[in-house]
A and B are shown apart, each in its own frame.
Chain A
Amino acid sequence: MTEQTLPKPTSTAAPCETCPVHNAAHLLKLGVDMGDADFVVALAGNPNTGKSTVFNALTGLRQHTGNWPGKTVTRAEGGFEYGNSRYKIVDLPGTYSLLATSLDEEIARDFILFGQPDVSVVVVDATRLERNLNLVLQVMEITNRVVVCLNLMDEVRRHKLTVDDRRLARDLGVPVVPTAARYGDGMDLLLQAIHDVASGATMGKPYRVRYESPALKHAVEQLVTQIEALYPNLPNARWVALRLLDGDEKIAEALQKGELGDLSHGDLAQRAAQMQVIGNQ
């Protein structure tokens, strides 16, 4: 009989704190205070897809956003706290690709590659999905830890389109969160997705484009074997192999200096130092 007592009020606290709704309500916008970050989040995307709006919504900063491709030419950084973890978020310049043919593309690529963020959020203009997915596919070549933020869903509705975010998530193999950042819609789900990927609760299996002539396939396999022998934990051996075959000096140099290897099991302090180096360039 006595075992049947009502649960004490305090015992409800534990499940409550793990509930996403509770977390979203406790998003702490830290602004530029991002000391002792547990996780680093990179914010990538094509120009004019609302990256800065997402950035502002998460950090509480008011970086000016404009309806203007190329608005963000430098990297902006901010912080937030969510689900008891502190996040540092870096707003990268908007780019159409990661081929590093111009300064802004290079900044974005180097950060995703060498900064090794715990999560790379790719902000995507849902009304221009085809062109935006090019960048998503390229980011997914470099890292597994991707969350796609399917932004501007308000515009999708205005243009009377429908975008099937679940099918997209299945096809891409990474979490896809529909948002309308300007109105704050979907930010709670985005935070949850970031948190899940950062903490390892969700592990993406990104779809990777496989175009290979027999000669290329052979070459890539041979290189990947060698690279993985040297750096067993590298998440993007294939991408590195392709860059080396393409004669990318910067990647070759990084390989020689062991920068790629260090990062596959590097700690945060090291990573922060790395980012400083990149930032100073």
Chain B
Amino acid sequence: MTTQTTTPEDILQTAQALRWEVGSDFHEHLMESMYTEAARIADRAITRPEKKPRFDLDRTIDRLVTSRAFGFPLMLALLTLVFWLTIAGANVPSRWLSWLLLDTLQPILKGFGVTIGLPWWINGLLFDGMYLATAWVISVMLPPMAIFFPLFTLLEDYGYLPRVAFNLDNMFQKVGAHGKQALSMTMGFGCNAAGVVATRVIDSPRERLIAIITNNFALCNGRWPTQILIATLFIGGLVPAHLAGLLSAMSVVAIAVLGVLFSFLVSWGLSRTVLRGEVSTFSLELPPYRPPRIWQTIYTSVIDRTLIVLWRAIIFALPAGAIIWLSANITFGGISIAEYLINFLNPAGLLLGLNGVILVAYIVAIPANEIVIPTVLMLTVLVTGASGVGAGAGVMFELQSNAEMTALFQAGGWTLLTAVNLMLFSLLHNPCSTTIYTIYKETRSLKWTLISTLLPVFMGLAVTFFVAQVWRLIAGVL
């Protein structure tokens, strides 16, 4: 037998030898001929209409929304509209939900606990702590999300988001980041964890890291309710009622825009220092506008985004509610753990134009940003000892009207400065634990995870401190 057996090594050796014969540019020629073939086959299959349509709607819209003059104003106007619809539309259903879950169901549940003879502390822990925290999260978060997400998804499905990326691309390039960061940042407006995963579209590791670290500056869904509520109470309260909604919406947009600016600033800083390197170019395809299928979009965005995010919030709200209740009810020498903490952090909080209550709330709310506001409210009642509101120490509650809430905050020593700085701090602080975990999974690096976590906190502390000092200086002069 003369059959010669071939081994993989033989093949590799032959290939190695033959590579010298064929030269190194054959691959380009192959690709070139493939492109030519693709063009030829496509051309044979397609018939174009005889007459070119005179008016191309897509192109006209594109020229408008990506134009130098109108691109950004249109973008801001559209965002403001979305937030205004969210703020204005969420009010009524929020009130229904809180009436149902808090005013009606909660006393029934608690009464039931008493009837079956639960010890007071189990009853309190279950229904004043865990149930109320969860119910609060649902009634505050569900309506705005159920409005915001479908609107955002409609914009996305229609094809507007890539235009936003197109508008922002140039600026990202200038600060040394990848243009596609505009896409992951836009995703971050929904959820930072999703935004961090979305950075996978960026090939260069350097630019991908920049995108991951700065994604937290895109105001995520868990923080929208905080922004919207504080803006409604304090900023909207500055003007007559008919303008309040618009002004609140605009101030939320201002915070969102500020986040984008911070994103640029930090990207710039990183690409000049620890993450230096070349900017890679890429081509961004503007997809055609496609009329979205409205009902389907609303259905999937409610199911996929709203309920998933809400579910996550509930999972975190349950234990957080328990912790808050316990910290407010376990006392040493007549003072609860929560009060100790608040008093301890109060001086630092005041220095930052915030207060101890807000700092404690942010520590409690590391797992989920959504519960910041309920915690703040509850703790404020605890320290002011306000009577007649809520249902006692350590109980989260919903106040009947915004006016009542404002009154409570003022009793707790809140000013416009506190509100503004709370909005700023909500923008600039560590990502939630889910996002931190996602960052670790994506980077596989403890160092970068730590940087992504701590950098925003330090920036938040610095910015609020600075704002507080300037504010007080000006207020002192006036």
Contact = CB atoms under 8 A, between A and B. Distances in A.
Interface of A: 47-48, 62, 64-70, 73-74, 101-104, 127, 129-131, 133-134, 136-138, 155, 160-165, 167-168, 171-172, 182, 207, 209, 211, 213, 215-216, 218-219, 222-223, 226-227, 229-230, 241-242, 244-247, 252, 255-256, 258
Contact of B49 (A65, A68, A160, A167): A160
A175 B10 CA distance: 37
Contacts of B7: 230
B288 A127 contact: yes
Nearest to A67: B159
Interface in B228-244: none
A76 to B, nearest CB: 13
Nearest to A230: B6
Nearest to B58: A159
A168 B45 contact: yes
Nearest to B38: A133
Given A162-B46, A226-B6, A245-B19, A213 B29 contact: yes
B473 interface: no
16 contacts: A65-B157, A67-B156, A67-B290, A69-B284, A73-B197, A73-B201, A103-B203, A136-B38, A137-B34, A160-B49, A211-B30, A223-B11, A230-B8, A246-B26, A252-B15, A256-B8
A63 to B, nearest CB: 8
A103 B199 CA distance: 12
List of 10 A-B pairs having minimum Cβ-Cβ separation, nearest first: A211-B33, A133-B38, A244-B15, A130-B42, A129-B42, A219-B18, A70-B201, A73-B200, A102-B203, A168-B45
Given A68-B183, A127-B288, A245-B26, A222 B18 contact: yes
Contacts of A165: 45
A256 B303 CA distance: 48
B12 interface: yes
Contacts of A209: 30, 33-34, 37
Contacts of A252: 12, 15
Contacts of A104: 200-201
B12 A255 contact: yes
B401 interface: no
A241 B6 CA distance: 15
A187 B275 CA distance: 48
Contact of B200 (A74, A127, A163, A171): A74
B309 to A, nearest CB: 13
A216 B6 CA distance: 21
B23 interface: yes
Sort chain B's interface into a size bin: 35 or more
Nearest to B165: A68
Given A62-B303, A155-B290, A130 B38 contact: yes
Nearest to A255: B8
B68 interface: no
Contacts, number: 163
A164 B34 contact: no
Contacts of B33: 209, 211
B18 A68 contact: no
B292 to A, nearest CB: 8
A171 B203 CA distance: 34
Contacts of A172: 41
A244 B11 contact: yes
A134 B6 CA distance: 34
Contacts of A133: 37-39, 41-42
Interface string B412-448: 0000000000000000000000000000000000000
User: Which interface residue of B34, B35, B39, B303 has the most chain A CB atoms within 10 A?
Assistant: B34
Contact of B41 (A48, A168, A229): A168
Contacts of A229: 6
Contacts of B292: 67
A68 B287 contact: yes
B418 to A, nearest CB: 38
Given A62-B304, A64-B304, A211 B21 contact: no
User: Which interface residue of B6, B8, B290 has the most chain A CB atoms within 10 A?
Assistant: B8
A161 B52 CA distance: 11
B31 to A, nearest CB: 8
A219 B22 CA distance: 7
A253 B44 CA distance: 40
B11 A255 contact: yes
A211 B29 contact: yes
Contacts of A69: 162, 284-285, 287
A70 B187 CA distance: 12
B248 to A, nearest CB: 29
B239 to A, nearest CB: 37
B400 interface: no
Contacts of B42: 129-130, 133
Contacts of B44: 164, 167-168, 171
B30 A226 contact: no
A120 to B, nearest CB: 17
B54 interface: no
B48 A68 contact: no
Contacts of B285: 47-48, 69
Interface string B200-216: 11010000000000000
Interface string B213-228: 0000000000000000
B155 to A, nearest CB: 10
Interface string B77-94: 000000000000000000
A101 B280 CA distance: 13
Contacts of A74: 197, 200
A70 B10 CA distance: 41
User: Which interface residue of A66, A161, A215, A223 has the most chain B CB atoms within 10 A?
Assistant: A66
A39 B300 CA distance: 29
A103 B203 CA distance: 7
B156 A245 contact: no
Contacts of B30: 209, 211, 242
A135 B12 CA distance: 27
B189 to A, nearest CB: 13
B18 A258 contact: no
B47 A161 contact: yes
A216 B45 contact: no
Interface string B147-161: 000000100111101
A256 B22 CA distance: 23
